[in-house]
Amino acid sequence: GENVEQHPSTLSVQEGDSAVIKCTYSDSASNYFPWYKQELGKGPQLIIDIRSNVGEKKDQRIAVTLNKTAKHFSLHITETQPEDSAVYFCAASTNSGGYQKVTFGTGTKLQVIP
Amino acid sequence: DVKVTQSSRYLVKRTGEKVFLECVQDMDHENMFWYRQDPGLGLRLIYFSYDVKMKEKGDIPEGYSVSREKKERFSLILESASTNQTSMYLCASSLGGGGYTFGSGTRLTVV
């Protein structure tokens, strides 16, 4: 089955700096890669996603890149703010038996220091 | 605003009790999921459902069952709660192959 590895597990950055979180996946058939942000006491929230026919997608201060050949994708947050502090999860989604099977990474705890 | 609502934020149950965790979504999504979240292990899929009265085992179904009698409601059942089922439980729903909408979670403690 699919295996998703996520690094780093924790990340501290100064406010205003950039943060990068990286994920690798094992199943070349994976075709959809969402990113989720989980704030304390809340469920994960979808913040950006990318499909396998696209190499990069940007939404204001966040962007995601996908390298299908190397089977890795990354989340980039620029001009970080304290409210970006949260746990971020990557995921890879594969068609399996007629439905989408999603495998999550183990999460990155991002701390933005004011 | 679209919503996935989990009936309880915190639950404390005794070992051996039968526990019901309820989840309701108001988006008319066909797909619903139950995950448990543990530190260092990320999100692990317990059960999912792609239609009413349909259910499929996820990666860690042992000790759990589910019920989906109506499209909007997906219930997770712990047949006989054990201390190793102490965890955060997250319900999610989705439409087709898109991203998930998660509930706020239920933190279950089994004593």
- Report whether A63 contacts A5 (CB < 8 A): no
pLDDT tens, residue by residue, A79-110: 999 999 999 999 999 877 667 789 999 999 99
Give the chain A residue nearest B95 (alpha carbons): A100
Beta-carbon separation of A107 and B105 below 8 A: no
Residue B99 in contact with partner chain A when CB distance is under 8 A = yes
Mean pLDDT in runs of 10 for chain B (111 residues)? 87 97 93 93 92 90 96 96 97 86 96 97
DSSP type of residue B22: -
* Alpha carbon of A46: minimum distance to chain B alpha carbons (Å): 7
Residue B1: per-residue pLDDT? 66
A2: pLDDT confidence band, cut at 50, 70 and 90?
Answer: confident
E-assigned strands of chain B? Answer: 4-6, 10-13, 19-21, 23-25, 31-38, 42-49, 56-57, 64-70, 73-78, 87-94, 101-102, 106-110
pLDDT of residue A96: 72
Q: Is B42 on the interface with A (CB under 8 A)?
A: yes
Task: Provide mean pLDDT across the span A47-57.
Answer: 92
- Nearest neighbour of B100 by CB, restricted to A6, A46, A105: A46
Measured in angstroms, the CA of A104 and the nearest CA of chain B are apart by: 6
- CA B39-B41-B46 angle, to 5 degrees, is 110
pLDDT, mean over chain A: 94
Min Cα distance A16 → chain B (Å) is: 28
Q: Given this model, what pLDDT does residue B2 score?
A: 65
CA distance B44 to A33: 17
